[in-house]
């Protein structure tokens, strides 16, 4: 793993070229999903350091969200996605659940949530509400990706001691599931 990091640090590219790579990876993530966010955050932190790297990646995530909103709104005008039978369950879930659950669903790393993310611009009442939901999701996603970066990738270099962050991430996911299950069991008729 150290050899891979050394290779990435010693690539014969200028700072501008590194910046462009991070910008492109981060900008396209809101549009195509997949694990690009983990790649963009990892490379950004390697090339620019933790704070600057996260700020660069997050800035381009936000730009990607704005462009994606426009793309989905124009597709919805043309194709009326809410009437498509395969998408009706997604619309139903999005309309029946509060925004914080959308943030968590979209923000969990390495989980395919493309249909949820695709329908958010249509189901959120305003652009501002959409942006708040997506920024919240990406704050969560970025935090989890940083934990994954330090928990999985750094553990290959430092050994088992750094698995603590991965354990924290796993416990957090389990707590989310358990709390949701208990809430539904104890308060079945309440929407929280």
The span from the CA of 118 to the CA of 99, in Å, is 15
What per-residue confidence (pLDDT) applies to 52?
95
pTM: 0.76
Whole-Å CA distances, 131 to 39, 97, 127:
23, 17, 6
Q: Which residue has the higher pLDDT, 128 or 11?
A: 128
Residue 77 has pLDDT above 60, yes or no: yes
pLDDT at 183 over 70: no
pLDDT of residue 146: 82
Stretch 24-43: mean pLDDT, rounded?
A: 84
- The beta-strand segments (E) located in the chain are none
pLDDT of residue 117: 87
């Amino acid at each position: 793993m150290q050899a891979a990091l050394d290779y990435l640090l010693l690539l014969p590219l200028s700072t501008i070229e590194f910046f462009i790579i991070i910008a492109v990876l981060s900008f396209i993530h809101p549009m195509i999903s997949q694990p690009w966010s983990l790649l963009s955050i990892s490379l950004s932190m390697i090339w620019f350091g933790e704070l600057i790297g996260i700020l660069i990646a997050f800035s381009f995530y936000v730009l990607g969200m704005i462009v994606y909103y426009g793309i989905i709104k124009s597709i919805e005008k043309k194709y009326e996605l809410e009437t498509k039978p395969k998408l009706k369950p997604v619309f139903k879930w999005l309309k029946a659940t509060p925004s914080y659950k959308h943030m968590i669903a979209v923000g969990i790393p390495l989980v395919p949530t493309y249909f949820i993310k695709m329908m958010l611009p249509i189901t959120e009442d305003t652009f501002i509400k959409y942006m708040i939901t997506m920024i919240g999701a990406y704050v969560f996603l970025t935090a989890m990706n940083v934990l994954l970066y330090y928990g999985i990738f750094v553990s290959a270099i430092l050994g088992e001691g750094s698995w603590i962050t991965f354990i924290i991430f796993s416990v957090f996911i389990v707590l989310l599931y358990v709390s949701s299950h208990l809430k539904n069991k104890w308060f079945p008729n309440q929407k929280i």
